[in-house]
């Protein structure tokens, strides 16, 4: 018995699986750590160092050198980013060194060179031991450095040999007046050294705030201002942990 051609079932061809083309592996972008993840990572580090009772900023002055360097570098950078913006801008616009502002090491070294040369040569001029050529050069020097006349009255240059050092250290002190009498007063600090000097007294005060730190610094240093100490305390991790700076409250200030 033969089957009809119409009764035959159509044979389906097997489907070929179409594979999507693979993308060539490119360079993976390294995700930038957000502040939240950064804090979380630091928390893991602190737990691994068995400091469960201490908060993160308290490790700034702890025994772990890696964490200590980390917090110090962050604190130092935040301080210098905000401490001398206005003073630097004023000096650049005027082109003159203000006696009340905190100067850089380069500016203080210029003052030391001018005052030292002026005082030394003035002694020889008073004794009459200068040659005519040297006397002419000294007069030209005073004409080109007129600010040196005031600097001689404002600053006292000392050379101190500290214990363990082979070379003398130059210390600049401000000439101050008390009871109408002038005396050698407090130490002048450069911008680069201001962070370390404030930090020294801030630790001694036990992170008690800007007022206590400024009172301690003011006893020894002439040109560390309240604004510099406030900037230091605002960027101090331990102080921010104790007294965090909260964002302004949005909404009604009083209960309606």
**Residue 174: other Cβ atoms inside 10 A:** 16
**Residue 189: other Cβ atoms inside 10 A:** 23
Looking at residue 196, what is its pLDDT?
92
Looking at residue 151, what is its pLDDT?
92
Q: Which of 63-77, 160-174, 236-250 has the largest mean confidence?
A: 160-174
pLDDT tens digits for range 116-126:
999 999 998 88
Asked if residue 154 lies in contact with residue 99, where contact means CB atoms within 8 angstroms, the answer is yes
pTM of the model: 0.65
Domains in the chain: boundaries: 59-101+189-238, 103-187
Under DSSP, the state recorded for 59 is: G
Is the pLDDT score of 110 beyond 90? yes
Q: How far apart are CA 87 and CA 227, in angstroms?
A: 11
Is the pLDDT score of 3 beyond 50? no
Q: How far apart are CA 87 and CA 40, in angstroms?
A: 37
Is the pLDDT score of 158 beyond 60? yes
Please give the mean pLDDT across all residues of the chain. Answer: 75
pLDDT tens digits for range 31-82:
554 444 444 444 344 434 444 444 444 444 555 667 777 888 888 998 988 8
In the beta sheet, which residues pair with residue 160?
A: 169
Looking at residue 186, what is its pLDDT?
94
**Average pLDDT of the residues in 150-173:** 88
What the block records as the tokens of 244 is: 């965090």
Is the pLDDT score of 165 beyond 70? yes
Q: Containing H/E element for 121?
A: helix 105-127
């Amino acid at each position: 018995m033969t089957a009809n051609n119409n009764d035959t079932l159509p044979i389906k061809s097997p489907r070929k699986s179409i594979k999507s083309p693979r993308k060539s592996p490119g360079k993976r972008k390294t995700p930038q750590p957000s502040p939240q993840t950064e804090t979380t990572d630091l928390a893991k580090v602190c737990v691994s160092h068995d400091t469960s009772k201490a908060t993160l900023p308290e490790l700034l002055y702890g025994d772990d050198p890696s964490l200590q360097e980390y917090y110090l570098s962050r604190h130092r950078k935040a301080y210098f980013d905000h401490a001398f913006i206005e003073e630097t801008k004023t000096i650049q616009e005027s082109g003159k060194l203000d006696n009340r502002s905190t100067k850089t090491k380069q500016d203080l070294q210029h003052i030391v060179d001018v005052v030292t040369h002026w005082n030394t040569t003035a002694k020889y001029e008073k004794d009459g031991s200068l040659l005519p050529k040297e006397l002419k050069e000294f007069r030209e020097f005073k004409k080109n450095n007129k600010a040196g006349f005031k600097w001689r009255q404002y600053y006292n240059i000392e050379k101190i040999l500290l214990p363990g050092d082979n070379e003398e250290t130059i210390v600049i002190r401000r000439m101050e007046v008390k009871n109408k009498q002038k005396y050698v007063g407090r130490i002048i600090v450069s911008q680069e050294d201001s962070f370390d000097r404030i930090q020294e007294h801030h630790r001694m005060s036990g992170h008690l705030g800007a007022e206590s730190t400024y009172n301690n610094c003011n006893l020894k240093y002439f040109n560390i201002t309240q604004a510099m100490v406030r900037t230091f305390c605002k960027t101090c991790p331990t102080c921010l942990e104790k007294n965090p700076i909260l964002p302004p409250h949005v909404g009604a200030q009083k209960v309606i």
